[in-house]
Amino acid sequence: MKYFYAIVHKDEDSAFGVTFPDLPGCFSAADEIGEVLPNACDALALWFEDAAEVAPLPLDQIQALAADDLRDGAFIIA
């Protein structure tokens, strides 16, 4: 099984935003924290309907790509 890492962003007075650093254009949002993972999974499924197979980046590369966001309070989910 492949695991893609997502960066979860949350600004005050906004929904949770989810981006996948290694999948350009793949993103989702959720109003509640409990909706973040299911919505992210839906976004992945939709993205791969029209995209070729991609190997996920390792966690350390995701952390490097998202270093600024992580410093600002974002977090990673798999």
Per-residue DSSP letters for the chain? Answer: -----EEEEE-TTS-EEEE-TTSTT-EEEESSGGGHHHHHHHHHHHHHHSS---PPPPHHHHHHHTHHHHHTT-EEE-
Kindly report the backbone phi and psi dihedral angles of residue 19, in degrees, each rounded to the nearest multiple of 5, phi listed first.
-130, 155
Q: Looking at this protein, which amino acid is placed at residue 27?
A: F
pLDDT < 50: residue spans in the chain: none
Domain boundaries, the chain: 36-78
The residue behind tokens 């270093």 is 67
Give the pLDDT score at 50: 85
